[in-house]
């Protein structure tokens, strides 16, 4: 009789690997019964990673979402699992130990059975706490090996890492092929070695379809002894997502494995509901290219989970870069031009920063560093002229030990900037903070919630939680969604909409409309359309006819100004497009009008592509105006502050 293989549905990761947002709690609880009725899942991935931060971004309480989403699976006897990032918890930056401890306690009480813990550097020191704290909270600890392909990341490397994590107390091992670039034969050897050393330890294989290896990798993993296989399903399988359940089940069944049957009526219902959610609003955040597989991904090794955000990043950076090129009389780039340049730069940058596995957040860091290099090179500047603080922390060892050594040039650059390398335990650099956040909640009269889950949310995602509580997050999301819907409507709106080119005569191009007025959610939008033969390359612009009231700035960082009374005015401009923040964490004091600034002082940060890029003053002065509120979107060359 063949070996039994069980399936885990990556319903959360399916969305994150395709686009920006995940379904609302109402949508999740609507689809859960049909997922259960399919009858083929032993496990479902329900939360963790960026999932809960994304809830906050569209104004939804993530704690309610997790509790209501896990409940039906708990009642049906289907295990639920979350993804957490070791030292970084469920965010992009390091988390104090007391917040990490509370995370596991909260997630267990909310109904999460298994903590899948990975460290982006595969540093066992960062995973040791995750294993211990998960087990103390009563969860199953599943430690992950973050797969990548480099001269350092060999079969022996991963076999030894698994041995270490199991000795630390891990109950299970996940072979996490987050980019789908793991070579099938090597994956089989890694799993076979782990099973030879630890036959009682369950192994779960997780991979992405993008580069094209995944079906072969799943078959090798099954032959080598993996008990669980992560799968996706239509309409969000393949592409930058995961292999489809139907294909995986048929393949393994043919190979002689015992696999569960699938209730196809329920399958079709889940498929239909998923498409409905895409049509509702989630599809507006899914780039069509993320629905395609692409073997170009083999070279840079970037993970499927970040490809959704990558295309959005490229779009905004391409727009900014092409504005500069037009201003300087240079030919514009296409998105494909920039994508190829980015992939080539990733392969150049990666070994020079010590081969960090390309998984969150380090895949973003390497990609961001490569993209900044490309942008600077396109502008005739030098590489490495913009390295965000988060990236420096990785290079310097403040988030864990790099698998390889940074290049001599990077080491010299750190020395020139007065930066010091760190070799101690990374957790020691991030002291406990829960008491500080408790005090904030008390001061603002906020409820800490059942099992202190609201306290946890504030401590884990401070800026996003504050924006959620103020309503800023929901207003910003709704405005962005309305804009996207208006743009989509403009592409399909009939010509009976308002038709004019400024003189009421069309544009001489088949009388195609130049200006449309469309109504989305009771809000009218004017859409100005240009066609491919016109100077703006066929892009359209959307302007509200009667725009909603602008979101109020976050209360602790208002726009402040003071008129200049004497002396020459000095300006600090934004070096790139993104969101402007006066501080990046609660330990910093925000700049205010009247403050004295010295040359090279940090005046704030531009958050772009999930990293905080410090902005320094090129000369000293006294702050006379702060031109943007905390969290405002800014373009490259926008004036951030003015000084006398």
Instruction: Note the pLDDT of residue 407.
Output: 94
Question: According to the per-residue pLDDT averaged within each range, which of 472-476, 563-567, 609-613 is highest?
Answer: 472-476
Total count of residues recorded for the chain: 644
Q: What is the mean pLDDT of residues 558-566?
A: 37
Same topology, domains 6-286 and 560-643? Answer is no
Does residue 550 register a pLDDT over 60? no
How far is residue 519 CA from its own chain's centroid?
A: 31
Taking the CA atoms of 52, 201, 139 and 40 in sequence, report the sign of the dihedral they define: positive
Q: Is 571 exposed, middle or buried (0-12, 13-18, 19+ CB in 10 A)?
A: middle
Query: Which residue, 557, 98, 605, is CA-closest to 392?
Result: 605
Instruction: Note the pLDDT of residue 2.
Output: 85
- Spatial neighbors of 163 by CB under 8 A, at least 6 apart, are 197, 198
Instruction: Note the pLDDT of residue 451.
Output: 95
Radius of gyration of the chain (CA): 25
Instruction: Note the pLDDT of residue 634.
Output: 85
For residues 76 and 41, give the distance between their C-alpha atoms in angstroms, rounded to a whole number: 11
Beta partners for residue 614, in sequence order:
605
Q: What is the mean pLDDT of residues 175-190?
A: 95
Eight-class DSSP state of 418: T
294-303, 374-383, 530-539: the lowest-pLDDT one:
530-539
Phi, psi of 80 (to 5 degrees): -110, 145
Does residue 354 register a pLDDT over 70? yes
Q: Where are the beta strands (DSSP E) in 304-344?
A: none
Token reading at 286: 């899914």
Query: Which residue, 134, 142, 67, is CA-closest to 101?
Result: 134
For residues 308 and 405, give the distance between their C-alpha atoms in angstroms, rounded to a whole number: 30
The pLDDT tens digits for 453-511 are 999 999 999 989 999 999 999 999 999 899 999 988 887 765 444 444 444 444 444 44
Instruction: Note the pLDDT of residue 1.
Output: 60
| Conformation bin of residue 212: beta by default, left when phi > 0, alpha when psi is -120 to 50 | left
Higher pLDDT, 480 or 319: 480
Taking the CA atoms of 473, 479, 482 and 488 in sequence, report the sign of the dihedral they define: negative
CATH homologous superfamily of domain 6-286?
Aldolase class I (3.20.20.70)
Q: What is the mean pLDDT of residues 387-395?
A: 89
Angle between helices 184-197 and 155-167 (to 10 degrees): 40
Query: Which residue, 162, 195, 163, 193, is CA-closest to 176?
Result: 162
CA–CA distances in Å: residue 481 to residues 61, 523, 599 = 19, 12, 41
Instruction: Note the pLDDT of residue 493.
Output: 63
Instruction: Note the pLDDT of residue 10.
Output: 96
How far is residue 17 CA from its own chain's centroid?
A: 9
Eight-class DSSP state of 632: -
**507, 494 contact by CB (below 8 A):** no
Phi, psi of 4 (to 5 degrees): -80, 135
For residues 43 and 619, give the distance between their C-alpha atoms in angstroms, rounded to a whole number: 57
Does residue 548 register a pLDDT over 70? no
Instruction: Note the pLDDT of residue 471.
Output: 93
**539, 322 contact by CB (below 8 A):** no
Instruction: Note the pLDDT of residue 387.
Output: 87
Q: What is the mean pLDDT of residues 226-250?
A: 96
Beta partners for residue 605, in sequence order:
581, 614
Give the global pTM: 0.79
- Return the residue matching tokens 């072979």: 175
User: What is the third-level CATH fold of 560-643?
Assistant: OB fold (Dihydrolipoamide Acetyltransferase, E2P) (2.40.50)
For residues 431 and 328, give the distance between their C-alpha atoms in angstroms, rounded to a whole number: 48
**523, 516 contact by CB (below 8 A):** no
Mean pLDDT of the chain: 85
Higher pLDDT, 338 or 97: 97
Tally Cβ neighbours within 10 Å of residue 343: 19
Tally Cβ neighbours within 10 Å of residue 284: 18
**31, 273 contact by CB (below 8 A):** yes
Q: What is the mean pLDDT of residues 308-326?
A: 73
Does residue 406 register a pLDDT over 90? yes
Render 22-64 in DSSP notation, one character per residue. Answer: ---HHHHHHHHHHHHHT--EEEEEEEETTHHHHHHHTT--HHH
Token reading at 624: 């006379």
CA–CA distances in Å: residue 391 to residues 341, 362, 369, 397, 578 = 20, 8, 8, 10, 17
Instruction: Note the pLDDT of residue 43.
Output: 98
Eight-class DSSP state of 232: B
Does residue 50 register a pLDDT over 90? no
For residues 312 and 316, give the distance between their C-alpha atoms in angstroms, rounded to a whole number: 6
The pLDDT tens digits for 63-91 are 999 999 999 999 999 999 999 999 999 99
Instruction: Note the pLDDT of residue 616.
Output: 84
Question: According to the per-residue pLDDT averaged within each range, which of 146-155, 166-175, 595-604 is highest?
Answer: 166-175
Does residue 398 register a pLDDT over 60? yes
Instruction: Note the pLDDT of residue 502.
Output: 46
Q: What is the mean pLDDT of residues 153-172?
A: 97
Helix, strand, coil % (nearest 5) of the chain?
45, 15, 40
Token reading at 386: 């913009």
What are the domain boundaries of the chain?
Answer: 6-286, 295-429, 434-470, 472-544, 560-643
Query: Which residue, 180, 170, 144, is CA-closest to 48?
Result: 144
Instruction: Note the pLDDT of residue 602.
Output: 86
Instruction: Note the pLDDT of residue 558.
Output: 37
Higher pLDDT, 414 or 323: 414
Beta partners for residue 80, in sequence order:
44
**382, 391 contact by CB (below 8 A):** no
Residue 220 pLDDT grade (very low, low, confident, very high; cuts 50, 70, 90) = very high
Residue 110 pLDDT grade (very low, low, confident, very high; cuts 50, 70, 90) = very high
Instruction: Note the pLDDT of residue 240.
Output: 87
């Amino acid at each position: 009789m063949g070996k039994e293989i069980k399936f885990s549905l990556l319903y959360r990761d399916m969305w994150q690997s395709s686009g920006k947002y995940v379904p609302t709690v109402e949508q999740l609880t609507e689809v859960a019964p049909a997922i259960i009725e399919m009858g083929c899942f032993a496990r479902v991935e329900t939360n963790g990673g960026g999932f809960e931060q994304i809830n906050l971004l569209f104004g939804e309480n993530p704690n309610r979402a997790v509790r209501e989403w896990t409940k039906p699976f708990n009642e049906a006897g289907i295990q639920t699992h979350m993804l957490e990032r070791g030292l970084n918890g469920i965010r992009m930056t390091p988390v104090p130990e007391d917040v990490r401890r509370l995370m596991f306690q909260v997630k267990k009480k909310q109904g999460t059975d298994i903590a899948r813990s990975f460290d982006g550097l595969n540093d066992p020191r960062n995973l040791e706490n995750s294993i211990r704290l998960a087990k103390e909270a009563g969860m199953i600890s599943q430690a992950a090996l973050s797969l990548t392909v480099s001269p350092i990341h060999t079969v022996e490397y991963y076999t030894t890492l698994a041995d270490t994590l199991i000795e630390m107390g891990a109950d299970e091992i996940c072979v996490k092929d987050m980019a789908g670039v793991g070579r099938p034969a090597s994956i089989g050897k890694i799993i076979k070695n782990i099973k030879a050393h630890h036959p009682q330890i369950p192994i779960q294989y997780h991979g992405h379809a993008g580069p094209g290896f995944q079906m072969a990798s799943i078959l090798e993993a099954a032959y080598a002894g993996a008990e669980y296989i992560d799968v996706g399903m239509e309409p969000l399988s393949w592409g930058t997502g995961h292999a489809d359940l139907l294909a995986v089940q048929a393949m393994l069944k043919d190979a002689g494995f015992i696999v569960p049957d699938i209730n196809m009526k329920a399958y079709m219902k889940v498929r239909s509901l998923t498409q409905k959610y895409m049509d509702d609003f989630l599809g507006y955040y899914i780039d069509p290219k993320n629905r395609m597989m692409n073997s170009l991904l083999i070279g840079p090794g970037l993970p499927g989970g970040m490809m959704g955000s990558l295309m959005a990043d490229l779009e905004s950076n391409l727009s900014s870069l092409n504005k500069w090129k037009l201003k300087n009389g240079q030919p514009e780039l296409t998105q494909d031009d920039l994508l190829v340049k980015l992939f080539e730069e990733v392969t150049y940058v990666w070994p020079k920063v010590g081969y960090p596995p390309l998984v969150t957040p380090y895949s973003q860091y390497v990609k961001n560093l490569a993209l900044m290099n490309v942008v600077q090179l396109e502008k005739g500047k030098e590489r490495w002229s913009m390295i965000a603080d988060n990236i420096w922390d990785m290079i310097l060892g403040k988030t864990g030990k790099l698998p390889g050594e940074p290049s001599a040039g990077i080491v010299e650059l750190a020395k020139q900037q007065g930066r010091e390398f760190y070799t101690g335990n990374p957790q020691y650099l991030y002291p406990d903070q829960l008491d500080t956040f408790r005090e904030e909640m008390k001061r603002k009269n906020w409820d800490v919630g059942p099992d202190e889950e609201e306290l946890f949310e504030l401590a884990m995602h401070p800026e996003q939680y504050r924006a959620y509580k103020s309503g800023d997050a929901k207003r910003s999301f709704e405005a962005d969604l309305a804009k996207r819907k208006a743009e989509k409507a403009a592409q399909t709106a009939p010509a009976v909409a308002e038709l004019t080119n400024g003189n009421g005569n069309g544009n001489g191009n088949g009388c195609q409309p130049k200006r449309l007025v469309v109504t989305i959610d009771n809000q009218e939008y004017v859409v100005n359309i240009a066609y491919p033969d016109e100077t703006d390359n066929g892009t359209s612009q959307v302007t509200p006819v009667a725009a909603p009231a602008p979101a109020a700035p976050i209360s602790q960082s208002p726009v402040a100004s003071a008129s200049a009374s004497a002396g020459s005015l000095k300006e600090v401009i934004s070096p790139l497009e993104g969101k402007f923040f006066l501080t990046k964490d609660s330990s910093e004091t925000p700049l205010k009008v009247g403050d004295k600034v010295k040359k090279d002082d940090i005046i704030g940060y531009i958050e772009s592509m999930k990293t905080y890029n410090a902005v320094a003053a090129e000369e000293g002065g006294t702050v006379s105006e702060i031109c943007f509120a905390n969290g405002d979107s800014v373009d490259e060359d926008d004036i951030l502050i003015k000084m006398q």
